[in-house]
Amino acid sequence: MVCSVISLGLRGVEGYPVTAECALSGGLPSFDVVGLPDAAVKEARERVRSAIKSSGFDFPVSRITVNLAPADRRKAGTVYDLPILVGILAAGSQLSLKTERDSAFIGELSLDGRLRPVSGVLPMALAAKRAGIARLFVPADNAPEATLADGLEVIPVHNVRELAGHLTGEQLIPPAPVWEQEPSPVQGPDFSEVKGQEHAKRALEVAAAGGHHVLMSGSPGSGKSMMAKRLPSILPDMTRAEALACTEIYSVMGLTSKEHPMVRRRPFRAPHHTISAAGMTGGGSNPKPGEISLAHNGVLFLDELPEFHSDVLEVLRQPLEDGRTQISRVSGSVTYPSRFMLVCAMNPCKCGWYGHPSGRCTCTEQSVRRYLSRLSGPMLDRIDICVDVPSLEYDELSGSVPPSESSAVIRARVNAARAVQLARFGPDGPACNAQMGPRELRDYCGLDQTCRQLIRGAYDRLGLTARGYDRILRVARTIADLDGAADIAANHLAEALQYRPPEHLRA
């Protein structure tokens, strides 16, 4: 007798339906799993055998063959424990699946028949919904996350006995309530603690509002790392679609939990400069997302930028352009979303004091150039906003200046500017000004006579490239949005032009 049970698999952060076909036939007792299973899937046999026995059922004394279709895709992980168990019990007529034709099953089994949570539940639940599956049986701890895929009935299962009771109709398990998102408090340090540096704070506000890439350059101890750490407190709120996209990635990495099934604040990732290229983009024989994907819809902060290996910076170029990263393996290629806001901090030279009024810099011109040459031109060309962070004057530090604005006040302006962008581009357009393509630039970044003259003068003087020109328009658009202006005016454009890389970085 053959019985088919629907389940789900993962390829990258995309789910897809899998059918577990279980056949019981005569012959010497055996138990085989085919359909490109990895080691964890093969080990399902031992867990299933033990779970069946400890839940009070008989393990069939026959030749058992399980085929995971489509058989040409590699199956990994422990999610197939539950569908295999259900298939074997149904094929041996110990359970009936008559009422569950449009149901799917995922979950890891423990030897005593309890269900353990698995990773990647949200992408699998979304795939189930797309495939028209009505009901999803998941380990109880995964249920809150599965309910995020609106419109799918989620049945939380604690153990095999409970599931059997439900399938026979003895004791139905009530569907899990849809997980309700509460307003998420913004945690972490506040911008009010940063004294002075008004120019840099303004640049970070513009960057947060439009999703622009930023580079902060300045002498040691001027507050670059301090301000970057406070960036999460002014990032705009995420839309539900953005939050779900982040949650899918975190789910695949096993970083979601029963208490926190959804990523609700924009991610802030700050990998150390010793990170490898694979750690940055993702990889491994069974590919996993890297830092740039964990930073999707959030911030990737690279402190001490020139210390990163040059190959690590090179691999960022393509994702910065496309918003996704592709990893090729013999078994096929997977694509991960990785659209992030890049924030970098660096000293202007090796000793850190280049250009400081005290004249402390001990570097030769040559060593300054060598230090900066680690940043490739094309990489710098992708940065929208460059800002100098000078050492503080004593008066600024000693507190004789008015206190700084709090993050909440800045975030309110950022949120307002982001709302303008959302309304302008609609749900299918770019998420923010930094992502505007040629069409949006044409439609929303028209310049009047004064602005055209201003940018024409700057074009030759600053040696702009076509990419640099577009970038200035995008930043100017964000500054106009922060100002509540319908059109870009000369003062917006002039501020955007200030954020060009300084002379010594362009050389």
Ligand X SMILES: Nc1ncnc2c1ncn2[C@@H]1O[C@H](COP(=O)(O)OP(=O)(O)OP(=O)(O)O)[C@@H](O)[C@H]1O
Residue sitting closest to ligand X (CB)? 223
Q: How far is the CB of 219 from ligand X (least distance, A)?
A: 7
Query: Should residue 223 be labelled a site residue for ligand X when binding is judged by CB under 6 A?
Result: yes
Q: How far is the CB of 217 from Mg ion (least distance, A)?
A: 11
- Residues 347-376: x where in contact with ligand X by CB under 6 A, - otherwise, as a string: x----x------------------------
Please tell me whether residue 195 binds ligand X under the rule CB under 6 A. yes
- Indicate the residue among 197 and 338 with the shorter CB distance to ligand X: 197
| Cβ contact 284:290 at 8 Å | no
- Burial of residue 460 (CB within 10 Å: 0-12, 13-18, 19+) is exposed
Binding of residue 306 to ligand X (CB under 6 A): no
Concatenating the DSSP letter of every residue in 349-408 gives: SSSS-TT-TT------HHHHHHHHTTS-HHHHTT-SEEEE-PPPPHHHHTT-SPPPPPHH
Report the residue number, 317 or 350, with the smaller CB distance to ligand X. Answer: 350
User: What single-letter amino acid sits at 92?
Assistant: G
What minimum distance in Å lies between the beta carbon of 469 and ligand X?
31
220 binds, among ligand X, Mg ion, none (CB under 5 to 8 A by kind): ligand X
Asked if 224 touches ligand X (CB under 6 A), the answer is yes
Residue closer to ligand X (CB basis): 279 or 390: 390
**Binding of ligand X at residue 94 (CB under 6 A)?**
no
Contact criterion met (CB below 8 Å) for 13 and 290:
no
On the question of a cis peptide bond just before residue 37, with omega within 30 degrees of 0, the verdict is no
Q: Closer to Mg ion at the Cβ: 223 or 287?
A: 223
Please tell me the distance from the alpha carbon of residue 46 to that of residue 31, in angstroms, as a whole number. 10
194 binds, among ligand X, Mg ion, none (CB under 5 to 8 A by kind): ligand X
Residue 225 CB, shortest distance to Mg ion, in Å, is 3
- Give Cα separations from 112 to 7, 46, 116, 159, 161 (angstroms): 22, 11, 11, 9, 10
Q: Which of Mg ion, ligand X, none binds 122 (CB below 5-8 Å, type-dependent)?
A: none
Report if residue 226 touches ligand X, rule: CB under 6 A: yes
Residue 219 or 251 with smaller CB distance to Mg ion: 219
Q: Is the CB of 55 or the CB of 222 nearer to ligand X? A: 222
Secondary structure (DSSP) of 457-505: HHHHHTT--HHHHHHHHHHHHHHHHHTT-SS--HHHHHHHHHTSPPHHH
Among 55, 222, 338, 478, interactor with ligand X by CB under 6 A: 222
Nearer residue to ligand X within complex by CB, 230 or 477: 230
**Of 273, 272, 264, 188, nearest to 229 (Cα)?**
188
Member of 34, 40, 134, 392 binding ligand X (CB under 6 A):
392
Residue 225 within binding range of ligand X, rule CB under 6 A: yes
The SS3 assignment for 307 reads helix
Based on the shown chain and the rule CB under 6 A, indicate whether residue 221 belongs to the binding site for ligand X: yes
Q: Is 332 in the site for ligand X (CB under 6 A)?
A: no
- 3-class secondary-structure state, position 288: strand
CA 317 to CA 332: how far, in whole Å? 22
Residue 359: how many CB atoms within 10 A of its CB?
8
**Which range binds ligand X by CB under 6 A, 30-38, 100-108, 144-152, 190-198?**
190-198
Binding of residue 491 to ligand X (CB under 6 A): no
Cβ nearer to Mg ion, comparing 351 with 490: 351
> Nearest Cα to 74, choosing from 45, 39, 46, 48?
39
Rule CB under 6 A: say whether 220 interacts with ligand X: yes
Tell me which residue of 44, 490, 12 sits closest to 293, measured CA to CA. Answer: 12
In one-letter notation, the amino acid at residue 71 is A
225 is a contact residue toward Mg ion (CB under 5 A)? yes
Which positions touch ligand X (CB under 6 A)? 194-197, 218, 220-226, 345, 347, 352, 392
